Amino acid sequence: MADRPEPRTYISTHTSDAIYIRDKSLVDELIGELSFTEMAYFQIMGERPTAAQRRILDAAMVGLMEHGLTPSVVATRMVYMSCPEALQSAVAAGLCAVGSVFVGTMEGCARLLDDIVAAPDSAARARQIATEYRAEKKRLPGFGHNLHKPDDPRTPRFLEVAKREDIPGRHIAALQLLGEAVDEVYGRHITINATGGIAAILREIDIPWDVMRGIAVIARAAGLVGHIREERAYPAGMRIWEAAEESIPYAGEAPFNE
């Protein structure tokens, strides 16, 4: 415990007539001057983004906002149906599903890309990763999609947006090396999905892997609010509940209604 730094914050403070965020006046320097995306980067990273960084973060958050009736959306709609007086609870329920299987997989992919970038022989490390994941039959984060085959149409667009900017390109190159290694090791083409593409472009703008899932949380929160508004107009929660009861039969011995 001795080497743990003393608690402190560099994020915000205030006086009786002013508010400061990372030493900038909220009223005079931020409100009306920074877009939401710029402010998000500034809040998380502690510095104002370049135009390129803003455009790349924008692209990632647009791509993350909506994915249809996924577990996070179903959770939000069901909780809203049960608790319509607390919109925030429904959104929070959906955000709890941003995890290591859906949406949050870019975190795991980003860690692999960092590993490849740091390796003396990037191509060899990419192949080693692909070999290990196949041998252990583990889900490879950033790869595969149950609907988009042979390729996820979002990924090339993310990479295209990033490549137009003045960025190092090392993590994009690592993703492409890993994609080539995966196809070779698995003996078939496996798509690089959207979270794989987002992992690469967010690392290009210095978003660290251990907060990357937070970018998904920010974007997905807006998407879930959209689903709540639609749930109010065209309620689906009860239909989802009924569909679950109908599709999952009772397997015990107690009597039940046919």
What is the number of structural domains in the chain?
2
Q: 3-class SS at 203?
A: helix
Q: 3-class SS at 199?
A: helix
Cα–Cα dist 108/62, whole Å:
20
Judgement on whether residues 139 and 213 belong to the same structural domain of the protein:
yes
Tokens for 222? 């807006």
Q: What is the pLDDT of residue 256?
A: 66
Alpha-helix residue ranges (DSSP H) falling in 46-193:
51-65, 71-82, 87-95, 105-118, 122-136, 154-163, 170-186
Residue 21: domain span? 6-49
Q: What is the pLDDT of residue 53?
A: 96
Cα–Cα dist 155/239, whole Å:
33
Domain membership flag for residue 123: yes
Judgement on whether residues 73 and 129 belong to the same structural domain of the protein:
yes
Cα–Cα dist 106/67, whole Å:
15
Judgement on whether residues 19 and 132 belong to the same structural domain of the protein:
no
Q: What is the pLDDT of residue 132?
A: 96
Domain final residue pick, 16, 33, 49: 49
Residue type, 47: E
Domain membership flag for residue 250: no
pLDDT in tens, the chain (258 residues): 568 888 999 999 999 999 999 999 999 999 999 999 999 999 999 999 999 999 999 999 999 999 889 899 999 999 999 999 999 999 999 999 988 777 778 999 999 999 999 999 999 999 999 999 999 999 999 998 777 788 899 999 999 999 999 899 999 999 999 999 999 999 999 999 999 999 999 999 999 999 999 999 999 999 999 999 999 999 999 999 999 989 998 888 887 666
Q: 3-class SS at 190?
A: coil
Judgement on whether residues 44 and 163 belong to the same structural domain of the protein:
no
Q: Can you give the CATH number for the domain in which 220 is found?
A: 1.10.230.10
How many CB atoms within 10 Å of residue 99? 15
103 strand-pairing partners: 99
Q: What is the pLDDT of residue 258?
A: 60
Task: Note the pTM of the prediction, 2 decimals.
Answer: 0.91
CA angle 177, 143, 36 (to 5 degrees): 95
Judgement on whether residues 16 and 67 belong to the same structural domain of the protein:
no
How far is C-alpha 12 from the geometric centre of its chain's CA atoms? Answer: 26
Cα–Cα dist 90/225, whole Å:
9
Judgement on whether residues 62 and 102 belong to the same structural domain of the protein:
yes
Judgement on whether residues 232 and 201 belong to the same structural domain of the protein:
yes
Judgement on whether residues 154 and 84 belong to the same structural domain of the protein:
yes
Cα–Cα dist 231/236, whole Å:
6
Cα–Cα dist 144/129, whole Å:
16
**Any idea which residue has 């290009």 for tokens?**
204
Domain membership flag for residue 185: yes
Cα–Cα dist 156/162, whole Å:
10
Domain membership flag for residue 257: no
Query: H or E stretch including 83?
Result: none
Q: What is the pLDDT of residue 255?
A: 77
Q: What is the pLDDT of residue 1?
A: 56
| Side-chain half-sphere exposure of 236, counting CA atoms within 13 A | 14
Domain membership flag for residue 143: yes
Q: What is the pLDDT of residue 202?
A: 97
Q: What is the pLDDT of residue 8?
A: 93
Domain membership flag for residue 10: yes
Give 96's contacts (C-beta < 8 A, 6+ positions apart). Answer: 72, 75
Judgement on whether residues 142 and 167 belong to the same structural domain of the protein:
yes
Judgement on whether residues 101 and 176 belong to the same structural domain of the protein:
yes
Judgement on whether residues 76 and 41 belong to the same structural domain of the protein:
no
Domain final residue pick, 30, 49, 68: 49
Judgement on whether residues 43 and 152 belong to the same structural domain of the protein:
no
